[in-house]
Amino acid sequence: MAFEFLVPVSEDIVEANNFLSEQCLGRQIQIHTKEEGVPDLDGIDVVFLGVREQRNRVNKSSDASVNFDKIRSSLYGLYPGNWSLKFADLGDILPGDEVSDTYFVIKEVVSTLLQKNIVPLLIGGSQDIVYAQYRSYDILERMVNLVNVDSRFDIGNASEPISNQSFVSRIIVDEPYNLFNYSNLGYQTYFNAQEEIDLIEKLYFDAYRLGEVINDVTIVEPIMRDADIVTIDLGAISSNSSPNGFNGREICAIARYAGISDKVKSFGIYEYDHGADETSRAMLVAQIFWYFIEGLNYRSNELDIKSDKSTLHYSVPIDNEVLSFYKSVKTERWWIEIPFLSSGHNKLERHTLLPCTYNDYERACNQEIPERWYKAKRKNEV
């Protein structure tokens, strides 16, 4: 049983939770305690899960594991919105004898939750944990899209030991090959080697500079709508150590877009450590989770938009192509169809609808091929 590796929430946090208002989120969460054990997950929609692993973090101060008591204290004390979701806190995964042992436990636990259609919210130390989060999707046997909110691409060298700055290369090259698309939101050019920037372009991945996202945070919505996994590096947020980055309002808006996506099945926040500003950072993490859940509660269930008879369809001739756009009457969101290729090795097994914007439709009407459609089509041809 995957959950036998989990350790309960600290008794201090459990005891403090008993003194919170009945309306607080903490009083509505089924908590893994030393006394009661792992809660029954029947009917649970969302679980919180800590991963105290940080040994593969570059430039870390020590190998000591992190703990998430301040985050739980902050999160439990928040008031929920008008939500219909049910929550559980499974406690933490401790570092194994080897980092690979920690990965194994993460994969087992998250895979089990995915099979139960429960959305795990992970908080961890070193961001290489994303690799294990991604490998949890192997059980689904389909291609997945990963969105990483980060100032760096974290590609690194796949031939070297995995770290929090090189895990993406392992996701790309390790079998089974389940990654269809990697999107980076908020990269800062001076933190990334030109070779990595060129590789992102060569692989037809998506990358959006910090200034581009800050200028119009709504560009995040269609990217999140196509994501299966969303992760956030806390280093992407402005702080004393990195003066440029997202502010609290922007990162919470991004988290809400991730939550409202019908496809996102897991959400992780990484690079948490104990610094001088831990209290405020813990509260920010709690609020990021809150906004993700807020979005999750208001999902529209539009995964099969083409089968909805009310969906509007528009055909746009452009060059030698006829682009098919679809618009939801309920949410007024847009999709564009990626054509299926009948020959060759295809990463897509069927016609796929790629989330887009009304601006993409307008540009197509002006004979401009949408960039994300072109990249997705090229990946399908590889």
Q: What is the pLDDT of residue 242?
A: 86
130 neighbors 270 (Cβ within 8 angstroms): yes
What is the structure's pLDDT at 349?
Answer: 53
Q: Classify residue 194 as exposed, middle or buried by CB count within 10 Å of its CB (0-12, 13-18, 19+).
A: exposed
Residue 63 has pLDDT above 90, yes or no: no
* pLDDT score of 350 more than 70: no
Confidence category of residue 344, pLDDT binned at 50, 70, 90: very low
> Would the pLDDT of 380 be above 80?
no
Say if residue 222 is preceded by a cis peptide, omega within 30 of 0: no
Q: In whole angstroms, what is the distance from residue 144 CA to residue 177 CA?
A: 10
pTM, two decimal places: 0.95
The C-alpha atoms of residue 376 and residue 337 are separated, in whole angstroms, by 10
Domains (ranges, CATH) in the chain? 2-297 (3.40.800.10), 305-381 (no CATH)
Q: What is the 3-state secondary structure (H, E, C) of the chain?
A: CHHHHEECCCHHHHHHHCCCCCCCHHHHEEECECCCECCCCCCCCEEEEEECCCCCCCCCCCCCCCCCHHHHHHHHCCCCCCCCCCEEEEEEECCCCCHHHHHHHHHHHHHHHHHCCCEEEEEECCCCHHHHHHHHHHHHCCCEEEEEECCCCCCCCCCCCCCCCCHHHHHHHCCCCCEEEEEEEEECHHHCCHHHHHHHHHCCCEEEEHHHHHHCHHHHHHHHHCCCEEEEEHHHECCCCCCCCECHHHHHHHHHHHHHCCCCCEEEEECCCCCCCHHHHHHHHHHHHHHHHHHHHCCCCCCCHHHCCCCEEEEEEECCEEEEEEECCCCCCEEEEECCCCCCCCCCCCCEEEEECHHHHHHHHCCCCCHHHHHHHHHHHC
Mean pLDDT of 105-110: 97
53 has a pLDDT exceeding 60? yes
- Model confidence at 62: pLDDT above 70: no
pLDDT at 365: 96
In percent, the amount of the chain with pLDDT more than 90 equals 83
Does position 240 have pLDDT exceeding 50, yes or no?
A: yes
pLDDT at residue 345, rounded to an integer: 45
Adjacent-strand bridge partners of 266: 229
What dihedral angle (degrees, nearest 10) is formed by the CA atoms of 274, 276, 277, 283?
40
Average pLDDT of the segment spanning 246-268? 98
The pLDDT of residue 142 is 87
Q: Is 252's pLDDT higher than 70? A: yes
Residue 340 has pLDDT above 70, yes or no: no
In the chain, the N- to C-terminal Cα span, in Å, equals 39
Residue-wise pLDDT for 77-100, tens only, equals 999 999 999 999 999 999 999 999
Do the Cβ atoms of 324 and 288 come closer than 8 Å?
A: no
- Phi and psi, residue 29, nearest 5°: -100, 135
Q: How far, in Å, CA of 315 to CA of 175, rounded? A: 38
Mean pLDDT for the stretch of residues 8-36 = 97
State residue 382's pLDDT score: 63
Which of 151, 214, 154, 142 has its CA nearest to residue 182? 154
Mean per-residue pLDDT of the chain: 93
